[in-house]
A and B are shown apart, each in its own frame.
Chain A
Amino acid sequence: MLVAPTVSVKGYCRTEVWSRRTVITGAYYARDPTLNERMDRASARSCTKVGLMDSGMAISGGVLFGPNASGKTYISLDQHRGVADDQKSTWHDGFARPAEYELFSTADAREWLDEKGNYWAVHNGGLTVLGSRGEHIAKFPRTSNNRDPWHGYPVSPKRRGLVDLPPDYCVERWEATEAIDRVWARRIRGFKV
């Protein structure tokens, strides 16, 4: 079982959440049956040391983080690192895996999600270049199973159109909460980034 965090970082940690145990199932569990046990140990360590932030744990296909304040785990996938191709966008080298997880946790904490359950995010008012091809928006598609780790990747409406466009109400909310300014809201809505 996880222990309640002794240190709270950035105000994300809530005891009732941390007392919940997250169980990894599905493909990641099939690849590594010891995963849940290792996760418990790693999470307990990271909770005790630094609260929400952890450095992740290397597993097959990526690096696993979490659980975060709402109990979600996140995997930074290897396939979204390195050189992008037509099928896969990749994170910018300067945007490290823990930052990726932290961005997901921010989107989760601020409920930057659409009606399909996908999370969307921007960083530093939209200024941070998240992707290796200059993307400024991240998408974290809804997992098919609640207990599966989440993953994400940088997206660009100007490259791929509507599928990579956060819904207008998300952008409106970002603008209203000053997560982005009017300039970046216009750029996102207008497929300019």
Chain B
Amino acid sequence: MKTANLFIAGQFDDALLYMGRLLVFTARRSLLVWDIDQLADQVTARLPQCGAMPTFMFARNDWFDTPATQRLLNDEATLRLLTAQMDAFPNILEMKDASPLQQLDLPGVHGPLLDVGAYWGRLYVGTTVGLFHVDLEWESDRRLSPYDSEKRLEGRCLHISVGFGAVCASCGDDGLFFKTDEFGWLNRPAQEFRHYSVRSLRTEWLGANLVNYSSPTEFKFIGTDTENRGRVREQGNALDERRVPEARRVIVFVEGPQELNYLTDLLGVRPDDIQFAYNSADRFFINTTSGEMIQLSLKRRRKKGLPKPAGVEHYEAGPTQVLSAHSTSVGVVFETESSVVLFSRGSWRPIITSPVLSVRTFQRSIRYRQLVATTMSEGVLLTGLFDDEPYWHPERKEAVES
């Protein structure tokens, strides 16, 4: 695994990569905006020995997957050259002279920040007093301007999930709020937020279905009914440069939370032995108090219904106190009480060895699927990841994370 770290110092609360920008939420509730392509260009200028790797690592992860790059990476001499360029990257490169393009106030947003999200040009901000959205003008001259903001929900908003045209807000003891067809793609009468009176700390998409976590260890399945507009090009993407509506859209959350106990029963894990549970689009990850990480792969299903297990893998020496988890295309990033670690191909790789404010990955984007944005007390760290192992060992070239 190759990594490259870019650091910007400051008193920040959170950071997102979206539509070619690095959006950093400051502790004073404003938004700093960097152009990510310009940042990559600055790094390239400072580190000529790294060739074009800064652009690949920080701005265009999707270029790794183009047929041309794949062809190059499959050539051992070229692979040696490119990985040598990655190795030439310093441990952490601090961008002292990279001033932001602009600083914006976030009108109408109040309260200490708890979570942020971005979807279809709209920023969502969850705070201790509510869920807010801020609509930004993205198109003009790379500079952003807010033109609308609204408080969407009252009360503490712990976690925001966006995707498939829907917005889900986890509001702790107040329950789970969800809204389908947020942007009117279905051409149906507008819906308001609906409410499940279940405790919700966070939700994660499981395909186009949802898993609600009422505690770090308890989770239930919420099925959805979706429509698939074949004519719209499938981007599978909410966080892209181009604002193309997602082809697959949730019409309605059809089923109330359903038990998934059968999965943990299958694994033989006692509920009180689970320290933290998480799911990506097609897998569950169970971290146990005894230090084992269990990865449960699920069958790919076209039909509705509860997920079915496909395979189980057990790994030892997992992290002790996981607080959150985030998918990338090269593995899952776990935030623990004192570190941030990448779990990839059954091994653990530390990214940061200190407590952090937030960790974000961008698995639903096109350009940033191998990037981690970590906000710490001292600043924000962008970590680009490249899994070179399959190119050295083609027999191991199965997908790590879909």
Chain A: residues with CB nearer than 8 A to chain B? Answer: 134, 157-159, 161-162, 168, 172, 181-187, 189-193
Find residues 171-210 in chain B having any chain A CB closer than 8 Å to their own CB: 172-173, 199, 201
- Residues of B within 8 Å of A159, CB to CB, are 215-216
Structural contact, B172 and A162, CB atoms closer than 8 A: yes
Contact among B113, B128, B172, B377 with A183 in the assembled complex (CB-CB below 8 Å) = B377
Is the beta-carbon distance between A182 and B199 smaller than 8 angstroms? no
Footprint of A on B, CB under 8 Å? Answer: 13, 27, 112-115, 128, 156, 158, 172-173, 199, 201, 215-216, 321, 323-324, 337, 355-358, 376-377
Residues of chain B contacted by A190 (CB below 8 angstroms): 114-115, 158
Evaluate contact between A168 and B128: CB separation under 8 angstroms: yes
**B115, A161: Cβ atoms closer than 8 Å:** no
A134 to B215 alpha-carbon distance, docked (Å): 14
**Cβ of B377: which chain A residues have Cβ within 8 Å of it?**
181-183
Indicate if the CB atoms of B216 and A183 lie closer than 8 Å. no
In the assembled complex, 26 residue pairs joining A and B whose CB atoms fall closer than 8 Å, in A order, are A134-B321, A157-B172, A158-B215, A162-B173, A168-B112, A172-B112, A181-B377, A182-B13, A182-B357, A183-B356, A183-B357, A183-B377, A185-B112, A186-B13, A186-B114, A186-B357, A187-B323, A189-B128, A189-B156, A190-B114, A190-B115, A191-B158, A191-B172, A191-B201, A192-B324, A193-B337
The residues of A that contact B158 with a CB separation of less than 8 Å are 190-191
- Closest A residue by C-beta to B127: A189
When A and B form their complex, which 10 residue pairs have the shortest distance between CB atoms, in order from nearest? Answer: A161-B173, A183-B355, A190-B114, A162-B173, A192-B323, A186-B357, A183-B357, A168-B128, A191-B201, A158-B216
Total residue contacts A-B, CB cutoff 8 A: 48
Q: A190 CA to B160 CA in the complex, in Å? A: 12
Q: How far is the CA of A15 from the CA of B323 in the complex (A)?
A: 45
Closest to B113 in A: A186
CB distance from B333 to the nearest CB of A (A): 15
Additional 5 contacts, C-beta under 8 A, given A182-B357, A191-B158: A168-B112, A172-B112, A186-B13, A189-B156, A193-B323
Q: Is the CB of B27 within 8 A of A182?
A: yes
Bound-state Cα–Cα, A47 to B63, Å: 72
A186 and B173 contacting across the interface, CB-CB below 8 Å: no
Kindly state the separation between the CA atoms of A185 and B128 in the bound complex, as whole angstroms.
12
Q: How far is the CB of B201 from chain A (nearest CB, A)?
A: 5
Residue of B27, B323, B355, B356 contacting most chain A CB atoms (<10 Å): B355
Closest to B201 in A: A191
A187 contact set on B, CB distance < 8 A: 323
The CA-CA distance from A90 to B13 in the complex, in Å, is 33
* A158 close to B201 (CB less than 8 A): yes
Which one, B113, B172, B355, B356, contacts A161 given CB within 8 A? B172
In the bound complex, what is the Cα–Cα distance between A190 and B172 (angstroms)? Answer: 9
Q: How far is the CA of A184 from the CA of B376 in the complex (A)?
A: 11
